[in-house]
Structure 1
Amino acid sequence: MRKSKFFAVLILSLLMVIPLAGCDLIEDILWHWSRNKNVEVTTTEASHGVYQMNLNETRLIKAAYDLTTDSPDELISACIEGMKQAPSDNAYKCLICGDVQVTDYTYDSDSRLVTLYFDPAYNKLPASREILTRAGIVKTLTQFSDEIQYVSFVIGSEPMTAEDGTSLLMRGKDFVDSISGNMEYVREDYVTMYFVSGDGTKLQAEDVIVKYLSKINLETALVNSLVSGPITEGLKPSLSPDTTVNKVSIREGICYVDVDKTFLERVDGQSFELNIYSVVNTLTQMTGVSRVQFLIDGSIFTGTVEGVHIDGMFEKNMSLVYRPEKEGTVPPSQPAENGDALKKDIEQQVKENQMSSEETGPGETETDESTGE
């Protein structure tokens, strides 16, 4: 359909310019077009579909595919089948073929986790192709975030693990769509993040593994993860998902958080203080960060939200945080959460160490390499 429309527009354009330009110009246009007709062109991405890999194994593209189903199990099966299909564009190839074969899968509706089981031959993939294949599979499945938030891989009988040996739980946003030359190193850190409790009145800690590209600093990754929302079922977002993170940097013990004005919006009628201290309490766990300064599109915001001024600097405030006295307790009037399965491999000691970190002086601060400050 796209090619037909392109040819129709091209022919119409040629007919319009022939009387004005003459045959020489037309021949020149056609020569240049025929010379470049095999160049890869990125088209508008399908709203829902499956990812495919280009023949050079450097880039992914999402191709339209019918994924209308009545259940998560049918959706997973349809995604797997779609990733097996040979692309209509011969410049791309399918992800599940050759040494990449899915032998089975399981789905946990409570944690919205899909576990894919692969033939042991998967381990034969070259590193660059493996990570791009993995990225495409995870991004295909997690585009339906209401049903699927995380994907894990089991190769033969061995789960794919992080560097510390814990099960690797992956989201689509953990990956880039293309690679060139050397792979960009993906870092990971254990962190405590603060989202809104089920009753919408307090902050509640969530211990997770944050993965981010090496070119992005941890403070930026943390704020972006807050915008993405919590993993644990029952916790609520503290920031609007439409919030744009312009820049996050640390100088002399102060973390400067530059976001757009969407940050000022209340989420589901929650107190605006929860917006502020979800960010502040998350960032001040970092070594060398004692205070947070907010900027709105590069400038200090002099107005107020719910009578709260944000032109000053904020320190950690744990009075807004609900912390269960023992594992298994939940905020009053809230049902027990099952999402803890996603983070069962994270040691409790990590959380305790992070929350007890002492605030340090300017001598231990990090430098924002992107600005040279």
Structure 2
Amino acid sequence: MKKLGLLFACILMMITILGGCSNSDEQSEYEISYVNMDGTTTYKVGYDTDTTDVDELVDEMLGLLSEDPGQIEYKNAIPSSVTLNYYSRSDDELTIDFDEGYLEMDTVTEVLCRAAIVQTMVQIDGVSYVAITVNDAPITDEDGNVYGFMNEEDFIENPGEQINMYQQSTITLYYANEDGDGLVAETDTVYETSDMSMEKVVIEQLMKQPETKGLRSVIPSGTNLLGVSVMDGICVVNFDNGFLNQDYSIAESVVIYSIVNSLTELSSISKVQISVDGETDIIYRTAYSLSELYERNLDCVQELESSPQTEGEGYSSNN
């Protein structure tokens, strides 16, 4: 009997542990949007509650978004440096007001914070739109345009599981010229599946050697792509530290803008940030801070006098 009791206790413990690890096997009533530890995308975790009052739910979820979840895979979306002043509701519109700490976030952190708040709050029955203000002033983009009321459709991230169907696309990639002092555009036909983001296709294709003779990939051989995410027009590309293995025969500006220009050819991307192992507090060589957001720059783009192109088979996301 003691052995049976011990066996039952062990089984019960395993069930408890396995149940605690899962956040996706069972459908939860809500999903709280946290931020992954690399700070590159939101991380949704299932959440159930007995609370039904709308205002109490807003309080509860704002608390979850602000508190450290104590996990190694994700962190709170609202940084501890940001303080909630108040929130108010009018019909199905929720306005959340923060102190000036909100304006001190870097661009990527702010976009992820804003996305997490909106994605979480619009799940509440009675909240369809969310606006964020700072000391009663509406937040704006870098051009001074007011964001206003937002819903989940304002934040499109990479889709989840979808039917794997191939589709053909044409992309423009920028490779280093033979001397490494300029960029040359190459147009490629790629084949990707519906569950793979185009930005990932672009980077993985850019990591290969180009088909055009006399051109070179700027990304060091052996570099691994850890992740690519896009939100609010900002693409964050995360490489491992192989990216820092320098090929000094290629100018640093050529390396940076090979990646930036190739990604900004996609209509969904206007700015790019590069990180290494999730870190952006890095100066690439001498002049390029990875904490900066880089925009399209065609100053170093050149024409190739002769560009014989080999017949390629394109790209498949199954490769």
TM-score bracket for the superposition, by shorter chain length: 0.3 to 0.5
Q: Which has the higher helix share?
A: 1
With normalisation by structure 1, the TM-score equals: 0.38
Which structure's relative contact order is higher, taking Cα pairs within 8 Å and 6+ residues apart?
Answer: 2
Larger fraction in strand: 2
Pair member with larger Rg = 1
TM norm structure 2: 0.44
